[in-house]
């Protein structure tokens, strides 16, 4: 079976639930607090691994107690952590998440996520990845590392997947090496200067294709998602859920979708299961802990079909 190699961020998320954002100079008492492992890279690795796919995390943590906890938690979800490095005299990545009215605002201190050795990444991929394996990355680590890593993955014959979040300045050479681009509504606007909706989705995909990627997914939150390749356009509706915490929903979608493609599902069903997984994720506080496994997704879909 093909494998997934995820290069990306590994963070500890500190979640504060608040009634409203504090004003300048104001001290606000939060309603709830929790600390949970996160980071877009780590979340997506967990999402894939929870579906039973062999998943390797490539990333960095600090030489601190948080680093120990972050690695232990990834291992508990069956993510293979052989290629996570410990960076001395550096803190692990941290994220402060302010959860207000079921929506989130996030402040990140990258810490060890900002320190990468491209030669190490090249060695890991060349010695362990095979043609057809999936290389998945995001934009929470230095952009030059992302660009070089995608190029290395393509030279090996891997399927390169970029979740362009948070959006940064991407050149056409990099995008031409991306097999699958995953973006949300705001990222799409930043990339192609178009406020996308269901009336101009064809125009959005046309603009993206001219930049390089032949296949892309645009997620539109509660309005669903669109998938486009040269042969088909697929719309997938969302499932209504009680929103507790939207953190990690997009990461769940990406990791679960790729896992089901590896497991041999057709594209439409893989998208359906990814959408179900994302809908389930927002029903629980946190990210990695909230992402459902294969059995949970199957049960969820069975209940939905029997309604």
Q: Is 131 exposed, middle or buried (0-12, 13-18, 19+ CB in 10 A)?
A: exposed
Separation in Å, CA 82 to CA 168, 288, 289: 29, 19, 21
Q: H-helix or E-strand containing 217?
A: strand 215-219
Q: H-helix or E-strand containing 117?
A: none
Residue 182: partners with Cβ closer than 8 Å, 6 or more residues away:
161, 162, 163, 164, 216, 217, 219, 253, 254
- Asked if the peptide bond before residue 101 counts as cis, ω within 30 degrees of 0, the response is no
Q: How far apart are CA 306 and CA 280, in angstroms?
A: 17
Pairing type for strands 215-219 and 225-228 reads antiparallel
Write out the catalytic residue numbers. Answer: 251
Q: How far apart are CA 175 and CA 241, in angstroms?
A: 34
Nearest to 53, CA basis, from 296, 257, 297: 257
Q: How far apart are CA 7 and CA 29, in angstroms?
A: 36
DSSP state of 290: G
145: which 2 tokens?
A: 């590392």
Residue 24: partners with Cβ closer than 8 Å, 6 or more residues away:
none
Nearest to 142, CA basis, from 118, 124, 125: 118
């Amino acid at each position: 079976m093909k494998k997934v190699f995820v290069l990306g961020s590994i963070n500890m998320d500190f979640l504060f639930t608040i009634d409203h954002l504090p004003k300048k100079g104001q001290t606000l008492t939060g309603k709830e607090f929790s600390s949970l492992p996160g980071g877009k890279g780590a979340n997506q690795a967990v999402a894939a691994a929870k579906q039973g796919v062999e998943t390797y995390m490539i990333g960095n943590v600090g030489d601190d107690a948080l680093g120990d906890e972050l690695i232990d938690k990834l291992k508990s979800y069956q993510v293979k952590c052989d290629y996570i490095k410990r960076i001395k005299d550096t803190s692990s990545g941290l994220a402060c998440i302010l959860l207000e009215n079921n929506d989130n605002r996030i402040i990140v201190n990258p810490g060890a996520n900002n320190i990468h050795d491209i030669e190490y990444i090249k060695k890991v991929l060349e010695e362990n990845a095979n043609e057809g394996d999936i290389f998945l990355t995001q934009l929470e680590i230095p952009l030059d590392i992302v660009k070089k890593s995608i190029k290395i993955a393509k030279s090996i014959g891997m399927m390169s997947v970029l979740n362009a979040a948070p959006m940064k300045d991407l050149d056409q050479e990099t995008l031409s090496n991306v097999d699958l681009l995953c973006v949300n509504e705001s990222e799409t606007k930043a990339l192609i200067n178009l406020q996308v909706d269901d009336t101009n989705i064809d125009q959005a995909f046309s603009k993206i294709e001219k930049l390089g990627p032949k296949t892309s997914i645009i997620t539109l939150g509660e309005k669903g998602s669109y998938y486009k390749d040269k042969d088909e356009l697929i719309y997938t509706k969302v499932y209504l859920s009680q929103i507790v915490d939207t953190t990690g929903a997009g990461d769940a979608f990406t990791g679960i979708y790729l896992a089901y493609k590896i497991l041999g599902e057709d594209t439409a069903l893989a998208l359906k299961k990814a959408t179900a997984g994302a809908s389930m994720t927002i029903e629980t506080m946190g990210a990695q802990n909230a992402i459902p496994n294969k059995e949970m997704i199957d049960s969820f879909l069975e209940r939905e079909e029997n309604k």
